[in-house]
Structure 1
Amino acid sequence: MSRTTPFNFITVKYPHLLSTNDPPSAAEEVKIREEMATIQQDADLPEIQNQLATYRSVVSPVRRLPSEIIGNFLDLAARGHDGHIEKARVASFCLVSKAWRDSAIATLSLWRDVCIDRDKPLCKKVVEWLGRSGALTKTLRVELRDRGQQPCCGKHSRNYEAADNNPDEDEDNEAELEEEDDEDEDSDWSDDDSEDEDDEETPRECIIAKTRLAKLLVDGPQFNTLVLTVSSTWCLRELLRSIRTRARAKGVSWPGIPSLALRMVPNVGHWAETQDPSASLFKYLPSGSLSSLGLDLVLTDELMMSLLNLYRFNIPSSTLNSLTSLKIKTEWDGPQIARLLPHCERLEHLYLEYACPSKFGAYRWTAAHDFHTEANLPARIHLPKLRTLQVDGIPEMTVGTILHFIRAPALVNLGFQINMRPQWITVPPAEEESHLGRLPELFLQSLGLLPQEAEITSISNLHSLTMGDGKWYDYRLYLSRSMLASIAPHFNSLRHLILYEVKCMDGEDPFQALCHHMEQYQTHLLPNLEDMKLTFSDDSFPLESLFLFAKSRHDHWARRPVGHNQPRDSLHTVALRISENWVNLANTYNTSPTIGHIRNLGVSVERY
């Protein structure tokens, strides 16, 4: 072997290994390792160290990872902050190496989600992309953007009016749609490469119609989820009518979309539904086909806040009764959400986000003694199958009433976040601290999860409780000394406790109070708790008391009667998010005399 140029051995003989992540063949690896052994004698030289590093990277086992493992990595890396697959990332992965391309193509989950981001017919490209996902459920997202901005529909503006008083019976329009369907009956997906007509020639065409979405939904693969961003509900109404007309013209039965997420363009979106539920756009969906509905309706700026109670959802009860999941984000300050819930008897998952600024005193109507009479609601709304409830953006001044009419006996997963800033406090200064620290307790009590005067006993089946702002880490979770000790005795089935952005009231220590409660009453609080996760809003949290609580749990477990079945205390994980800038918390974590003891008891205590 010539050693005149040992440093460019791989460059000259195996350039393809440096320009790709492909592994060397067995024969190539033997030759490379022989060269490595030859130059090892000069390993102290910096140039040789660099060359050896190149050799080691070429023969690294990483290059021989199984395709399935690479595919798992790619699936994680391809997702954006919202959890959706980003097609640009997938395309980039396919260019790295043949091994990565093969892994990407073999990873079906990378191809089950596609986004139409241009107002052009992309049916053929969408079908080809989704065709690689096999039998997996498929998601279609329509998020049209123009130079980074979401454009409004030129046809369905805020001032749009239907041609007659009852556009849903407009046979002339349906006849026109049928004629359009006849024209492209045999066109397959050939319209993908055609140029759109100039906007000046078609000023009245709906922006969604330009994508030929109805054609894709009827003639293309079956979609499990449709995520649609529009500036007017007229766009969605026209789409659903076009689908119905196309299906009729072809003599096929459209199965519908099991999961629909509708997002209005913020600040310019227009909810154009009438006050007649029988004329709702949702009536165009096949009966019973929709099981999951998401509505993101942040429509106006603060100047229009006073008009929001005039809006109506007006979703037919037949549609609501088929839902198992409902997600609503809105700033509508009125009983619109509450009026939907009595019809949601099959609901299992409910996600609510109130976008009304708390300082405006939103949802005060819920605090009125006769709120149900004024809003035409039952005094109690029973959701017998509800298992998961997530509520974000709860206003401070209505925390105890905003959902006090709900009862969910099957609830096992609860999360909530309260919008609270000190300048928004609505109680006298002398009561501020006790009020702030009790806000989470007031919300839990309003749901009937804690005893009230009218309900002497309360039995909770909660398995998971999440409190605080885990999305943006913007609002603090204020805890008084007694808050956790007040709620813990009522959550014997709780397994997972998550507290985001915790802030203890001045000089108060909620976990120390838990320890004192267990010692005073000789009881094992939260006996089935398996893991805790905490993030902190500042550097003042009494972290050592948290570790002592974990130790105290084990001590009380050890004093239980001989013969109990549980081999050890149920707590096995404590996860903490501690910023590098928080010196006190970091010092406590690194020097605590208790943390080593509880780790020896089998409790994992880790920073993340």
Structure 2
Amino acid sequence: MSDVPTLALPAAAVRPGWIRIAPRVRLSRGETRREPAAVEVAQEIARITAKTVVSSVDSVENLNGELERPQAKSSPPIHRMPAEILSMIFASATEGGEDLFHQDFRDLSVRATWGGEGLRAVEHRLLILRTLETHKHTHHAKHLRRMPELINITFVCKAWRDVVETDAYLWGQLETAPLLGTGELKVLQRWFARAKRSPKALRLSYRYPLRCDCAQTKDCFYSNPNLLKLLVDEDHIARLHLLKLTPRCFTEFIKSVKHANGGSTPLWWDTLHTLELDFHQTYPVDTYWALPDARTLFHALPPVTSLTLNTLVAIPWEPTRQRLDIGQSILTGLTRLTLRYNFDGPQLVMLLRHCTNVEDLALALQIDHWQNPAMSDPLDDAPLLPPTTVTYFLPKVTSLTLEFCYVPGIRIPFRYLRFPGLVNLHVARNPLLKVRTWQKDKNAYSQVLEWLKLFSRSRAPSSLRSLRLGSDGIHCIDPLVAEDLYYILSHLQPQITHLSLNGEFDAHKFMQIDEEKRASGKGRKLCPSLQSLELLQLNTVDRLLGDFDLEPFLVYIKNRHNYQKGEDDGVITLVEPFDGLKRVVVEVYTQAKSKSWMPFSGSETLETIRSFGVVVDRLGYSSDEETGADGEDSDGEDSDGEDSDGEDSDGEDSDGEDSESM
């Protein structure tokens, strides 16, 4: 048997730790030795087998390397982002117009949907999305946290779902009706339990046409036992918003909460930092305003830092003037104050003189010439107001929003008030103002700014940087008058850097005035320090002004810059002094198509402005405005196109508005 050949694996097929195997060939009885040819065949088979084994081993090692490579490679930044940063992103991405979330718990299907204990089940999350989609048009208020977007985030991955489920801030905000049943109470308690011990915000409101008639009956919406139990058991409410209530509702609310808590207010009442009382749509007007004990409404206010009193309506033609008797200790502790009322001007002066720490002040003065005859009675004002030489300074006010209705109605209060530290100013006329009133007061904005001393070099606040003119809202009918607008811009102090114009104006007339001033040598550069210009809420088709044409104003923007154009090559070169305008924002509602969009289709003026380095952003822009029937832009470039529901093809703008930089 010594001459039996040994089959050995090639050296290349041997791995460390392997053992060489030498197979032996045994011969049975009577069997002769194999022929050399048979031996060669066996050796060839062994060689092929060894090669196959080596190839298989190499393949396995390559596969192992492919599996190990993603682990060795650094993960994308989004995978390494801390949960705290993701929470901030999710909170920002799901915020609505305000900072709360409304859910109508009176609907049984919605109540059942939110009765689940968690977000783990995919079916449960899909049910939430379908329910929100079904009821999105029935909710009376705008979602303060867009819950569908928040639920969609949980579908991305387990890590994101865990962040959403464990982030207490996302679950600490809620809006509901004050009429709660036992089932609704349990759902709300479970909801707030997700928020743990983080500060919570609760907003109570109900749908129109429901109205609390506690002035005629003993039952009040805000004295609901289940609501009181929720408020008494919860100890971390930081913001409370009571909407569509009457003055009696608030006093009954305070009494009921104290009674449910054993005679005293809950612990969170004294630590509440935001309180909103909205008396909107409480018609007929509650006669509580005319009662002598009406001051108890304001004396019951907690020591908050942010206070909103909305739609305080005095009884028209009532001889008894109602006072805003808010305690001085509460006023001095405020940092933010919002008032919307139709009381007279003297009371505003006596109220604001104590608001020495207010930084954000918003006043909606609905004083009209017919609402309170006491406004025109100087004898009635005399006991309230000090001599005209007295001035009250509010040094910490940096942001002031002033909405007015009747121009003479706001002259009295601002005769005594000064804001030396003012940075941001927004002046607007009531958008519900009748057209005939607008036509009568065509210089209303300049009058208001003059009463604010913005045209005085010695009295104007040197810190003012931002000015916004015009009302907010799509249905605003408050066009700016070109003559009044030019007068304002030519008399403002030069430190203004940001200017926002809400509403349309006659751009041709504005350009004509500017050219006439320049030709006469009396022209001056308007707002020489201007860096940002916003033209917002251009409906393009206005029944007062007709079609809004943007091209003349683009020409004005171009003429702000000093430039030279080459005679041979036509190249435009900027020369000193350079203009500081770097950004222009134009917002147009896409449903109103008119010639105002024509400058955006190959406008030479626009191209020149862009060559100056000015960035022009378009809001509410639809590419269909510039897209021809062949699917190409008027400039010859391909259009990105839009989905049928108004969303971009890349899905960035979910609410139907597109923001594009030109």
Change (3 A) 1:495 1:254: same
Indicate which of 194, 219, 222 corresponds to 1:132: 194
Q: CA deviation at 1:226?
A: 0.4
> What is residue 221 of structure 1 aligned with on the other side?
235
Give secondary structure in 2 for the equivalent of 1:141: strand
Indicate which of 545, 553, 574 corresponds to 1:546: 553
- Counterpart CA distance in 1 for 2:379 and 2:559 is 47
- Counterpart CA distance in 2 for 1:529 and 1:495 is 4
> What is residue 221 of structure 2 aligned with on the other side?
207
Q: Is 1:466 aligned to residue 480 of structure 2? A: no
Q: Is 1:575 aligned to residue 592 of structure 2? A: no
Which residue identity does 1:312 align to in structure 2? R
Contact 1:273 1:312 in 2 (8 A): no
Contact 2:246 2:286 in 1 (8 A): yes
Q: Is 1:498 aligned to residue 513 of structure 2? A: no
Indicate which of 403, 415, 423 corresponds to 2:436: 423
> What is residue 100 of structure 2 aligned with on the other side?
84
Q: Is 1:111 aligned to residue 171 of structure 2? A: yes
- Aligned pairs (5 A) from 1:45-444: 75=91, 82=98, 84-87=100-103, 89=132, 99=155, 102=162, 104-106=164-166, 108-120=168-180, 122-133=184-195, 136-145=198-207, 149-153=209-213, 157-159=214-216, 204-229=218-243, 231-244=245-258, 246=261, 255-264=270-279, 266=281, 267-268=283-284, 270=286, 272=288, 280-285=296-301, 289-297=303-311, 299=313, 305-307=316-318, 310-332=321-343, 335-355=346-366, 360-361=369-370, 372-373=381-382, 375-376=384-385, 379=388, 380-396=391-407, 398=409, 403-419=414-430, 421-424=434-437, 436=442, 438-444=443-449
Q: Deviations over 1:85-132 (max 9, x none)?
A: 234746656776852655642554432211231412655433432333
Q: CA deviation at 1:526?
A: 2.2
Change (3 A) 1:82 1:523: same
Give secondary structure in 2 for the equivalent of 1:594: helix
> What is residue 486 of structure 2 aligned with on the other side?
484
- Counterpart CA distance in 2 for 1:97 and 1:458 is 49
Contact 1:232 1:270 in 2 (8 A): yes
- Counterpart CA distance in 1 for 2:519 and 2:582 is 19
- Counterpart CA distance in 2 for 1:345 and 1:229 is 28
- Counterpart CA distance in 2 for 1:127 and 1:308 is 47
Give secondary structure in 2 for the equivalent of 1:478: coil
Q: Is 1:555 aligned to residue 562 of structure 2? A: yes
- Counterpart CA distance in 2 for 1:132 and 1:464 is 41
- Counterpart CA distance in 1 for 2:266 and 2:167 is 35
Contact 1:444 1:450 in 2 (8 A): yes
- Counterpart CA distance in 1 for 2:227 and 2:479 is 44
Scaled by the length of structure 1, the TM-score of the pair is 0.65
- Counterpart CA distance in 2 for 1:481 and 1:265 is 36
Say how many residue pairs are matched. Answer: 476
Indicate which of 443, 446, 467 corresponds to 2:451: 446
Q: CA deviation at 1:448?
A: 1.2
Q: Deviations over 1:256-289 (max 9, x none)?
A: 3211101225114637368768962444455xx3
Contact 2:316 2:371 in 1 (8 A): no
Give secondary structure in 1 for the equivalent of 2:560: helix
Q: CA deviation at 1:606?
A: 2.8
> Higher mean Cα deviation, 382-391 or 482-491?
482-491
Change (3 A) 1:132 1:361: same
Give secondary structure in 1 for the equivalent of 2:250: helix
Q: Deviations over 1:391-435 (max 9, x none)?
A: 2242245465564432111111111222455523686xxxxxxx6
- Counterpart CA distance in 1 for 2:450 and 2:322 is 30
> Higher mean Cα deviation, 323-332 or 520-529?
520-529
Which residue identity does 1:548 align to in structure 2? V
Give secondary structure in 1 for the equivalent of 2:190: helix
Give secondary structure in 2 for the equivalent of 1:503: coil
Q: CA deviation at 1:227?
A: 0.4
Which residue identity does 2:437 align to in structure 1? W
Change (3 A) 1:95 1:496: closer
Q: CA deviation at 1:253?
A: 8.0
Contact 1:450 1:487 in 2 (8 A): no
Change (3 A) 1:114 1:369: same
Which residue identity does 2:446 align to in structure 1? E
Give secondary structure in 2 for the equivalent of 1:240: helix
> What is residue 19 of structure 1 aligned with on the other side?
none
- Counterpart CA distance in 1 for 2:405 and 2:493 is 22
- Counterpart CA distance in 2 for 1:208 and 1:467 is 38
Structure 1, unaligned runs of 5 or more:
1-26, 31-60, 161-203, 428-434, 562-567
Contact 1:413 1:463 in 2 (8 A): yes
Change (3 A) 1:603 1:265: closer
Contact 1:353 1:391 in 2 (8 A): yes
Q: CA deviation at 1:296?
A: 1.9
- Counterpart CA distance in 1 for 2:386 and 2:371 is 19
Which residue identity does 1:132 align to in structure 2? R
Scaled by the length of structure 2, the TM-score of the pair is 0.61
Give secondary structure in 2 for the equivalent of 1:385: coil
> Higher mean Cα deviation, 66-75 or 254-263?
66-75
Q: Deviations over 1:345-375 (max 9, x none)?
A: 222222122346x5x5556766777785254
Which residue identity does 1:572 align to in structure 2? K
Give secondary structure in 2 for the equivalent of 1:448: coil
Contact 1:344 1:383 in 2 (8 A): yes
Contact 1:367 1:398 in 2 (8 A): no
Q: CA RMSD in A?
A: 4.3
Give secondary structure in 2 for the equivalent of 1:410: coil
- Counterpart CA distance in 2 for 1:350 and 1:397 is 21
Give secondary structure in 1 for the equivalent of 2:613: coil
Which has more radius of gyration? 2
Contact 1:481 1:510 in 2 (8 A): no
Q: CA deviation at 1:514?
A: 8.3
Change (3 A) 1:363 1:486: farther
Contact 2:257 2:265 in 1 (8 A): no
Q: Deviations over 1:2-51 (max 9, x none)?
A: xxxxxxxxxxxxxxxxxxxxxxxxx9xx9xxxxxxxxxxxxxxxxxxxxx
- Counterpart CA distance in 2 for 1:572 and 1:541 is 23
Change (3 A) 1:463 1:250: closer
Contact 2:295 2:323 in 1 (8 A): no
> What is residue 636 of structure 2 aligned with on the other side?
none
Give secondary structure in 1 for the equivalent of 2:310: strand
Q: CA deviation at 1:479?
A: 2.1
Q: CA deviation at 1:579?
A: 4.3
